[in-house]
Amino acid sequence: MTEFDKIELLFINKLINKIKYQNLSLFESNQFANSPIGNSILEKIKNEFESQILKYHKYNKESRIGGIQYEFDNHIGKSIQERLNEMDNYSFQAIIKFDEEETQKFAMDILGPIEYDQDEFIKLVDFIKVKANEKTGG
């Protein structure tokens, strides 16, 4: 069984409590969605499910979880674009100062453990740069 560290458990606790007992603001939603801690949790869950499925299907690759793939124009890409469109200007004031490596790291944090092609990833990086320029007047 996959073990979660204290930071991941605090993240899960905060998220579930926000969803269950409070209104999750757009800012908080973006914070959770873009967090590398959430990515770590998703990766552990994905690995756990894959290892369990592989045990039952004797390593049949077609039975693996992971059919979800990011593409800029699919439902996942549209959802990410919508979230970025709704991010506040203060976040973009930080993003506009990112160099290429930091922008790519931010895009990777947004995508998390989901599969993607490099061309689709570059589209997201470019979208982030354009959106940062729009939101900051830069």
Q: Domain check: are 39 and 103 in the same one?
A: no
pLDDT at 53: 62
Question: Which structure tokens are listed for 66?
Answer: 């992971």
Q: Domain check: are 95 and 116 in the same one?
A: yes
As for how many domains the chain has, the answer is 2
pLDDT tens string, the chain, 138 residues long: the values are 679 999 999 999 999 988 888 888 888 888 898 899 999 999 898 888 776 665 655 444 444 444 578 999 999 999 999 999 988 888 999 999 999 999 999 999 999 888 899 999 999 999 999 999 999 987
For residue 116, the cross-strand partners are 70
Give the span between the Cα atoms of 77 and 120, in whole angstroms. 9
Angle between helices 118-136 and 75-85 (to 10 degrees): 20
SS3 115: strand
Q: How many other CB atoms are there within 10 angstroms of residue 80's CB atom?
A: 22
Q: Domain check: are 31 and 57 in the same one?
A: yes
Question: Which structure tokens are listed for 46?
Answer: 């994905």
Q: Domain check: are 80 and 92 in the same one?
A: yes
Structural domain span for residue 133: 70-138
SS3 16: helix
Which residue's entry shows tokens 């959802």?
A: 79
Give the span between the Cα atoms of 70 and 67, in whole angstroms. 10
Based on its alpha-carbon atoms, the radius of gyration of the chain, rounded to whole angstroms, reads: 17
Give the span between the Cα atoms of 47 and 65, in whole angstroms. 9
